[in-house]
Amino acid sequence: MQKLSMEKLDELFRKMSEKQAVYLPVDKENGAKFEKWSEGTKMSQALNTIRSAKDFIFPQTENLVDFKVNGKNIEVADTREECEDFVIFGMKACDARSFGILDKVFLSEPVDTYYKNRREHGVLVTLACTKPSETCFCQTFGINPAEPEGDVSTWIADGEMYFEANTEKGKTFIESISDMLEDCGTEKVDAQKAKINEIMRKLPLNNLKTDAFGGDKLNELFNSPKWAELSESCLGCGTCTFVCPTCQCYDIKDFDCGNGVKRFRCWDSCMYSDFTRMAHGNSRNSQLERFRQRFMHKLVYFPANNDGEFGCVGCGRCLAKCPISMNIVKVMKALEG
C-alpha cells in the first residue's frame, strides 16, 4: 500500500492530467457531479454524485453513425472519437460494481464496440465511503463500501490518501504516479474500514435481504397482487432510471439533416408508455405492467441470466430522487412477506 498527503492532491491531479483526462466529483449548487479537472477544481467529499459514473462509458446521448446521401449513393461514416484515455477518480463502491453489471450486458456477444472502446480507455479509481447515508443499502448486494472495487482503491485517513492497485491497469496507473507516493503500512486503513463497517451496521437498511428474490421466483413474484397497490401512485416520470447506475435501456433514432442522416443512441426508460412501442402498439399498456417490469428486471430477470447477480447496487439514488417516494426498497419489503 502507498500513500500521499492530501495537501499534494492538486499536484497529483496536475501530474495525472498530463497523460489523460481526469474526472472527479465536484460540488455544485444541486449536488456533486463528475467534472473534468482543471486548475482550481476541488474534489467533493459528498457521499455520491447526483448521476453515476455510468455516463462515461454509456453516455446519455451519442452519435452512432452518419449517412451521407448524394443522389443514389450513400456513404456510411463512422463518427466515433472515443480515443481519449481518462481516469474517473473518486467514484464509490456502488458505482464501481455497476460497471461490472453493465459489462455483462454490453460486453456479451454481440459486443457493443462503442461501450467496449470507452471501457478500455478508462481507469477506475475508487474511494471508500467514510460517511454512508441512511439511503445506502449496497451491503444487501454484497458490496463493501469500505473496500471499493475498481482498478485502484483509495482511502482518506488523517490527512492522507492511501492507494492500492487491484488490476493490471491499476498497477500501471500507480507506476505512473509512483514518484509522488510513499510505501506505508495498512494500520490506518484497517482502522477506517472497521469504522465504516460499524456505521453500515447501524444504518436502517442494514438488514434488507434478497432471499425472497432471484431467478427461481419468477412466477410467484410476477403474479403477486401487490403490484397493483405498489404501482398506483407511480408517475412514470423515469427519474429512477435516469439516476440509476445500472439501467441500460436505450432507443436509437435517425435524424434527417438535409444532406444526410445522423443516427443517435439515447437513454430510454421502461417506465415510459412508448417504450418498445412497435407497429402493433406497446406490449406493456398499463403503468402497473411497466412498473413491474423495472423491478422484476432488477430482482428476477437479471439474476436469472447472470449467475444470481442482481441488477441493483444499493446506491440509494432512487430513494433520494423519486418524487413520490416509491423505490426498490419499498418494493422488496412489500414482496418479501
Question: How much is the pTM?
Answer: 0.91
Q: What is the pLDDT of residues 168-201, one digit of tens each?
A: 999 999 999 999 999 999 999 999 999 999 999 9
The half-sphere exposure of 267 on its side-chain side, counting CA atoms within 13 A, is 19
Question: In the structure, what pLDDT confidence band is assigned to residue 78 with cuts at 50, 70 and 90?
Answer: confident
SS3 of 319, please?
helix
| Distance in angstroms (rounded) separating the CA atoms of residues 57 and 99 | 9
Lookup result for grid cell 499534494: 8
Q: What is the pLDDT of residues 199-239, one digit of tens each?
A: 999 999 999 999 999 988 899 999 999 999 999 999 999 99
Q: Give the pLDDT score at 281.
A: 63
Q: Are 12 and 174 in contact (CB under 8 A)?
A: no
Q: What is the pLDDT of residues 12-21, one digit of tens each?
A: 999 999 999 9
Mean pLDDT confidence for 68-95: 87
Question: Which pairs count as long-range contacts for 178-183, CB under 8 Å and 24+ apart, including other chains?
Answer: 178/2, 180/4, 180/8, 180/11, 180/12, 180/15, 181/2, 181/3, 181/4, 182/2, 182/3, 182/4, 183/1, 183/2
Q: Which residues of 143-159 are buried (b: 16+ CB within 10 A; e: fewer)?
A: bbbbbbbbbbbbbbbee
Provide, rounded to the nearest whole percent, the portion of the chain with pLDDT above 70: 98
Q: Which helix (H) or strand (E) holds 124?
A: strand 122-127
**Which residue ranges make up each domain of the chain?**
2-60+78-202, 215-249+269-335
- What DSSP state is assigned to residue 282? -
Q: Is the previous residue joined to 110 through a cis bond, with omega within 30 degrees of 0? A: yes
Lowest mean pLDDT among 78-92, 228-242, 316-330: 78-92
Question: In the structure, what pLDDT confidence band is assigned to residue 74 with cuts at 50, 70 and 90?
Answer: confident
